[in-house]
Amino acid sequence: MQDCGIAQNMSICHIHALISNNTIHNSESYYYGAIGVYTDTAASSVSVTRNWIYKLADCAVNFHCGQNNIAVNNMIYHISPKRVFGVCNPSVGDDGRMPRQTMTFQHNVIYITNTAARLYGRGDFWVNSVPKVDWNNYYFKPSSYQQFTAFFSKTMAPSEWVENAGNDGNSVVADPLFKDLLKDDYRLTETSPGFKQNIESVDLRYVLSDSGAC
């Protein structure tokens, strides 16, 4: 069975969903999974924005196929050795079953604490024009030149990722200056470089205080 589905509908479904103002954190898995936000097969026109996504066992956001999906202005604190941004296989669209997947991943803060982590997975051979990845604030701690050169693409050097693929030309690598990492406070301080990326600070402390475990 493909993707653990007995019957799988590969048609595009534009659900126009908004996933916003959530604290998504501290997930664990036995082998794989425990993803922060997962839009399943062909869900389209989904906006993932203004969330705190941190300390997960797998990726922060996974767009499984679909079109016109966007992840913007999220605060991501990534401790997993796995990818930050999950996508569908690039072969989708080439065999006529459904249109090619399109997505946008921009204006996010991505704070990486695991040297094995990568930006995305699943083949690493997508068409250069999709997805659109730009205007992000990345930070690697501990800092590692070896990780930096392999983080964005398994098949391209960082310069090729920018010049040939047209991604992250306006992104920066700098400490985003969260308010208090020890207290899981992912608001941006007044001097955060994220503001120059048109990233807005997101205050979700009330969500943490008002919510319970699920």
Q: What pLDDT score was predicted for residue 125?
A: 54
Domain that holds residue 145: 2-210
Q: What pLDDT score was predicted for residue 204?
A: 96
Q: What pLDDT score was predicted for residue 5?
A: 38
Please list the ranges in the chain whose pLDDT falls under 50. 1-10, 91, 123-124, 128
Q: What pLDDT score was predicted for residue 105?
A: 93
Q: What pLDDT score was predicted for residue 66?
A: 79
C-alpha separations of 100 from 47, 129, 133, 152 in Å: 18, 11, 17, 21
* pTM to 2 decimal places: 0.86
Considering the chain, what is the average pLDDT of its residues? 82
Q: What pLDDT score was predicted for residue 11?
A: 54
The token duo for 150 is 């392999």
